[in-house]
Amino acid sequence: MADDQRQNRIAHMEALRGMGVDPFGRKFPGATPLQTANDAYVEGKGDDQASFTVAGRIVMIRDFGKAAFLVLQDWSGRLQVYARKDALGEARFAIYKNLDIGDIVGGHGKLGKTRTGETTLFLDDLCILSKSLLPLPEKFHGLQDVEIRYRQRYVDLIANPEVMRTFLRRSRTMSEIRRYLDERGFVEVETPMMQPIPGGASARPFTTHHNTLDMDLYLRIAPELYLKRLLVGGMEKVYEINRNFRNEGISTRHNPEFTMMELYQAYGDLGDMMEITEGLVTHLVSQVSPDLKLKWGEVELDFARPWSRKPYFELYQEHVKVDFKDIDAVTAKAKQHGLEVKGRTSAALANDLFEMYVEPYLRGPVFVTEYPTAICPLTKAKADRPEVCERFEMFVNGMEMANAFTELNDPIDQRQRFVRQLENKDEGMARLDEDFLNALEHAMPPAGGLGLGIDRVMMLLTNSASIRDVILFPLLREAGAPKDEETSR
């Protein structure tokens, strides 16, 4: 069927060429957004109603022989247009006769109302701008097949107006984040995406090779160590909206390539990062819901400030019910849940249990504070309780949204922690980053640092259940490969 339709469309394309019409047109200036034109009709103006030039994709055709209604769509909305032979003339109406759903056209006409009261542009000119050789999928209005939606995002954007709104919202949100930070004295910077030593997080990196330099490189798992180098150099407030890459699992919350906003403020600390996080996220929520109440799935969340603060160890004791320091008890409970224990520290296993028993039930928004220093190699410990560090993670509806520290700036302590990471074979720690340690020895000012997961924030702002719904082109298996639970969710 699809092959037959393609052949029919090719026949229409050749017919247009035979008429001297280019089926893949050129620049078309002066088009008014369709929704703007749709909203412009003023009752009572009749024949004096304004004329408009428009362009868009045909998503519906109702043919009546010598006349037809077409519905056009662009990224602003839709508009019905009316093509009538005696208004367009023989040549222009012949163009219409060779149009198909999916074609992109331009036109000019006067706004009016049909007898049923629908705002319509009554065309006096029509041209084709691009011929669609493939039909849109059946039932493309409200297309739900996730395989098509994620793999052919271009079809998804055409078929589902709410998907277009999601990604336009994402673009506006990125601009709003930049505006918010710029107004507070931060400057946007760029740091390397290919790094000789991966660092800034515990994660498995992707590897590549530079032929000219004959050296292995890693796609970054985090920009942290480079941004801190800028603090050393005297750039006191920096941020980067960055792409990170982690060679790990795929799920409704994880994509191997994802977007983070990471910032650092010299002479600041964890309290400043909490203020920025609360202020920025609340501001973004207010753009969607002025009363600061958002529904995510079936849960309604209230982002009114101040947000709740809950210490890590209190939550751990309440829910995990195993002494964090009892190595045998922690290991036994980890084994109960099938967790890999070989080569893992007791603190890392205990944190796995925290993630399992506590995190899914943190409705939030909530700051989990006072993490164990043993699992935070880049964070300053509290002066009065060195086993606890100055770190928070922010959770909403069981999902981590942000991670922040008072940054460790003692180069001796930092070296010792890196050595322990190497000894424990932590993921992401291939070898000591001597240049970063050298930078710290030139004195990094006291600072606070924050990482905010942009994709997850967008899930919140658009009430999306999967991270794939807010990433234009999520990573998928090759077409035709067997599906599994992760790729089909």
Confidence category of residue 480, pLDDT binned at 50, 70, 90: low
> What pLDDT score was predicted for residue 348?
86
- Going by their DSSP bridges, the two strands 237-245 and 257-266 should be labelled as antiparallel
The DSSP code sequence of 38-81 is HHT--TT-GGGPPEEEEEEEEEEEEE-SSEEEEEEEETTEEEEE
Q: Distance of alpha carbon 139 from its chain centroid, rounded?
A: 27
CA dihedral 241, 247, 248, 250 (to 10 degrees): 70
Res 44 pLDDT > 80: no
- Token couple for 295: 């529904």
* Contact (Cβ atoms closer than 8 angstroms) between residue 68 and residue 107: no
Find the largest Cα–Cα distance for the chain. 88
Amino acid at the residue 178: R
* Contact (Cβ atoms closer than 8 angstroms) between residue 141 and residue 244: no
Res 145 pLDDT > 80: no
DSSP symbol at 110: E
> For the residues 115-122, what does the mean pLDDT come to?
92
Confidence category of residue 48, pLDDT binned at 50, 70, 90: low
Res 12 pLDDT > 60: yes
Q: Which of 332, 370, 377 is nearest to 350 (CA)?
A: 332
C-alpha–C-alpha distance, residues 142 and 138, integer Å:
10
CB atoms within 10 A of CB 38: 21
Per-residue model confidence as pLDDT tens digits over 310-347: 999 999 988 888 888 888 888 888 888 888 778 778 88
Task: Name the region of 117 (left: φ>0; alpha: ψ -120 to 50; beta: rest).
Answer: left
Question: Greater confidence, 333 or 259?
Answer: 259
* Contact (Cβ atoms closer than 8 angstroms) between residue 334 and residue 320: no
- Per-chain mean pLDDT for the chain: 90
Confidence category of residue 425, pLDDT binned at 50, 70, 90: low
Give the dihedral sign, CA 329/333/336/339: negative
> For the residues 408-424, what does the mean pLDDT come to?
89
Q: List the helix and strand counts (H, then E) for the chain.
A: 15, 18
* Contact (Cβ atoms closer than 8 angstroms) between residue 333 and residue 352: no
Of 83-87, 231-235, 338-342, give the lowest mean pLDDT range.
338-342
* Contact (Cβ atoms closer than 8 angstroms) between residue 58 and residue 69: no
Per-residue model confidence as pLDDT tens digits over 175-209: 999 999 999 999 999 999 998 888 888 788 889 99
Task: Name the region of 337 (left: φ>0; alpha: ψ -120 to 50; beta: rest).
Answer: alpha
- Does the predicted TM-score (pTM) go above 0.95? no
Question: Greater confidence, 338 or 285?
Answer: 285
Confidence category of residue 476, pLDDT binned at 50, 70, 90: confident
> What pLDDT score was predicted for residue 486?
45
C-alpha–C-alpha distance, residues 281 and 487, integer Å:
30
As a whole-number percent, the residues of the chain with pLDDT over 90 amount to: 67
Q: Which of 250, 213, 385, 412 is nearest to 313 (CA)?
A: 385
> For the residues 216-225, what does the mean pLDDT come to?
92
Sequence-separated (6 or more) residues with CB below 8 Å from residue 181: 188, 239, 263, 280
Confidence category of residue 488, pLDDT binned at 50, 70, 90: very low
DSSP symbol at 180: H
Question: Greater confidence, 148 or 171?
Answer: 171
Cis peptide, bond prior to residue 360, ω within 30 of zero: no
> What pLDDT score was predicted for residue 460?
96
